[in-house]
Structure formats: C-alpha cells, structure tokens
Structure 1
Amino acid sequence: MLGAIGLDERHEAAYRALVAIGAGEVADLAHRLALPEPETEQALRRLERQGLAAQSSSRAGRWVAAPPAVALGALLTQHRHRLEQAELAAVLLAEEYRAEAAEPAVHDLIEVVTGADAVAHRFLQLQLGATEEVCALVTGEPVAVTGQENEAEDRAASRGVGYRVVIEREVLAEPAALAELSAALGRQERVRVTERLPTKLVIADRTLAMVPLTGRGAAPAALVVHASGLLESLMGLFEAVWREGLPLRLGADGTTVREDGAPGPDAIDLEILSLLLAGMTDASVAKQLDLGLRTVQRRVKGLMELSGVTTRLQLGWHAYERGWVARTPGT
C-alpha cells in the first residue's frame, strides 16, 4: 500500500511492525518479520533515512516508530511535489512536440503566385484577411491589381483595420490618383510620400507579405512570404521607408491632398543635441539651458523616436546625417 511513496513490501512490513509495538529491539522485530537480524537492521536503517524510524536516545539498540501522520504526511507531500513537477514537464514537452510538428517546412514559408488574376486575387485576400494593420509600399509602375482594391480597403477599414501606405511622388501625377488618395485619407489611412521606393510591398498584420517577382513588361508574378526571418526583414524595410516619408494630409476643402514638411527638432532640441554631442551630461545640459532634468531626458527620448534609433550613439550619427547639428570644421 505504501509503495507509491517509495516503500517496498519488506520496508513497509518493518514499519508496520514497529508501529504495532511502538518501540522494540532488532531481535524482537526480526522475530516478528521472520527475517535475519542483519536484514532487519538494514530495513530499519532505510526507514531511519526516510524519517519513519529512529534509534531510542534512552536505550541503545532500541528503535522507535515515527508518528505515521507526521512521517507519512511528509513523504506524501514530497511525492506530490515530484508528481506536479513531472506533470509540468509532460505539459511542456507536449507543447514543444506540438510546436515542432506544427512548424512549417522551409518551402512552406514562401508561395509563388503567377498570372494577373492569381496575383490580384491573392492581393485582395491579403487585405480582406487582415485584422489589425496593412502596410504597403506603392510605386508608379503598372500593377495587376486595379478596380477591387478600393472596395477591399473600404471593407477592411470598416472592420477597424489600420493602413499605413508610402507612395512614390510620381504616383501623385497619375490620373485619378488624388481622388483615390483623398478617399484613403478620408478613411483615416495614414499616407506618406517619398521620392523613390525600392519595390512594391504589402504586409498584413506583420504575418504575411507580398512582393512582386517580375519587372516591367513580364507576366505578373508575386512572392507571398509567411512569418519568417525574411518577413521580419521586409517589415524592417517598410519601417525604414516610413520614417523617411513626408506625411500626406487633406487640404482645407477636404478633397485636395498636400504634403506636410518632415517633422524635425525645434530650437531647444537642437541646443540639447549640440551640448550632448559636446560631451555634457543630461544634468549639465539641464542646468545650462535652465530646464528640468526630466525635460531634457524626455526631449532626447522624443528625438530617438523621431529618428527611429535605440541608442544615443545612433542619435548622434543621425543628427549629423540629417544636418540637425554642424560637423566640426575639417571633418
């Protein structure tokens, strides 16, 4: 009965015999168990290690049983804990096994879609399947997707899907471009413009992307990329282009579209940058400009977010590249 907590039949019998008599000599227990005295003493030593028996402090050679409620309760608690750990390990292994079994093969991470109809259909599927955000780079080159695109955007936007779109400036000169952009901005889409884009691209919910495979004049074909390192790289490309683009806004009449100036640091930001690049600490800059320390740190954080960088070293490089601060003469 006590095998579940690590006692075999002989040790359980020895403990039961000791409990029955309360305390006894090795010879008495050997007689009750019908075992040789050396084997009986060996069993008692094992019970002692498990906290079920102890040698009497008042009489040498005499053994006393530990109270079952205390001794067996402690063993039960230990075994329950081990079982709980084993159950947890089993659950984790099962999850790992399922994840490994569900991990797509490398060739399943990429789809090749060919033909104008197939490319257009996959593009619309991508938008209609989005639940959070669609990010897109739109060039001025001909595309296989036309008419139904606006309808797909309308339906996605009505479900609360956000849009971030960067377009090439030459797109603004295309027929009906301004009307379509006005409609997009009216749907609360965020649109930016840049001089040149490296490729067309659409990404849905950061889990699925689509890029063209063929150039001008060739039969339409596209690459659909599932969650992978390649998709993360494409998302990084979009974010880099997005940071460089100029926002498009609706004009005062609600129909015309205009470009906003690129956001940049104000005069105080430039002073803070200059002093920091000169080697001053945040506290010294705050004292020099009569600002609070938290104000300085908040403005530096804002400049890092504006620049899309994560370290102050990167911010310094970005500030020089953008002309926010002057380089040292001769460099």
Structure 2
Amino acid sequence: MRSPHTFDPELAAALAMMPEVDITDLAAARAAQGRQVTAALAASDSAGVDVCDFLAPGPPGAPDVTLRVYRPQSRARGAGPLPVVYGIHGGGFVLGSPDVDHDWNLLLCRELEVLVASVDYRLAPEHPFPAALEDCYAGLRALTDYAGALGVRPDRIALWGDSAGAGLAAALTLLCRDRGGPAVCFQHLCSPALDDRLETPSARLFTDTPVWNRDNARRSWDAYLGAEVRATAAVSAYAAPARATAEALAGLPPTYISVMEFDPLRDEGVDYAHALTSASVPTRIRMLPGTFHGAWAVEHATVIRGATEEAIHVLGTALGRR
C-alpha cells in the first residue's frame, strides 16, 4: 500500500517499479535483494576503475573482514598516495553487502580520483551489536596499518554511509576518536539510522512510507540490539549515536547529513545535526524535498541528480579534490 504523501513527481512515477522492503521474512528479503543486486552488477560498467577485494584482519576472535577496494586507473601507484572514502552500506543492519553500493563506489572513484573501500560487515540478527561496528573498525584499521602498501593517505579518510550504514559511520567516528584512531577527517551521513527509541515525530508519523517505515525500523533495531534491549538505558552511543551526550560529540570531524522528507529516520538525522552543531562540530544538513527513504535508487530524478552532485562536491572538498 502506497503512502498518500506528496512525493516529487519523478519519484512518484518510479514508485510502481520499486520493490517493497519487508524484513519480517528475512530470508526472503535477502533472496530478493540478491536477485536485484545480481541484475544490477551485470549491467555495471567498471571502466577506468580497478576493483579487487582486500582481506583485513578481523576483530579479536572474529573472522577476517573483506574490503571491496576501488582504485582509479587514472592515478598510477607512483603518483602519490590517495585520499580515501570508506563506505558502509545500508540495509537495516540485516541486509546488504558492498555489492549494493557498487555503482556509487565506481562513481566516487572516477569523479574524485580517490581510493574507495567498502566494508563487508557481519549482519544481524546472526551477529548483533557490536559485530558490525567492530568489523567496520577492523577494516578501517587495516587501511591505515597498510597505508603504504595500499598507497593511501591515512590522514585523509572520509566516512560515507547510507541508512544503517550511516548510523555505523557515525558510531565508527565516535569509536575512532575514543580509541585514538584511525583519524577520520570527515563524515557524510545519508538518511542515518541513529536512534533506536523511534520516538521522533517522523518515526511516529511515517508508518506507511515506501521502502522503509516505522515497522521495518523497529525490526531492524530489534535484530541489531535485541528486542529486550532496544529503547532501554542499556543502549550505548556506539550502538545508537543519538544517545551520545553533548560532551561525547565534542571534537568530532566536520559532518554533512542529508535526510529525506518522508522518512521515519528524518528527524533523528536533523536532531543529530543540531546536537553536533551545539557541540561546535562544523555540520551541514540538507533535507531533500519530496523524497522517501531509498530514493537514491531513482538516479534519473532531478532532485536525486542534484543531491548526487552535491554529495560528490562535499566529499571532494573534504578530501582536497575540489
């Protein structure tokens, strides 16, 4: 059932072709996403980019972590080390892999001439918090530990994430600061999942929005944290960064947050931007009018093309590429 909200006309026209996401049956949801990703990968064009997988040492007692690495062919290894975009895919903590962001990672690599690394973290509920976060940390740690061999600049690493991936990026930024590194110079958070309590006005209002709604958000947090833990005092800011105090946010790197107008996650992104600003963290926020969670997939829509251009510009500026 489609929501009556006033969507951007180009996005509204595309809705009929967009599959609903329902993680009630997680096996079915993963199978459906797998079919979609397989078709998308078959149509991808990786011209100008070398793509390979890099196996990073995993967290203590856990498996190694795979990083999908994208390197621009226009930059020979002898031309000097590259800045890095460290990407964390979305999927409500329960879906996804680096494959879902493959075209986006190719675009960033080509446009910015940076190394892009996309982390394949473990998924909930099989691997609840803090497995995904520790995998993301291990992958980032390996990038800096092997910076010379990989030809990257450990002082110019920007984090990028979408949805649950943006929540993990925000948590990873906190974790890196508190563990004394690796250094993160910028975080770019798209439609971030930050607050397990689901008490914001948008979380209460948007129960029927396309792609993602309140029920999906609740199920995803229950899978990640445990139904008996979600929305209790036991949840830390490393699990749900909206829980961070103003003091805990001080000293974080510059941040850009984009949110969708008709998205249950909208207000937690807005609130986080305000909290960062109050902690004197340079922060910009952009709300995309007429959009819904997952609207990034409608690449031809004017509002999404504009948001894509802005995201590339923002990341490029942060990494000295603009």
- Note whether the superposition's TM-score is higher than 0.5: no
Q: TM-score, normalised by structure 2?
A: 0.25
- Tell which has more relative contact order, 1 or 2 (C-alpha 8 A, sep 6+): 2
TM-score (norm 1): 0.24
Please state which structure has a larger fraction of its residues in helix. 1
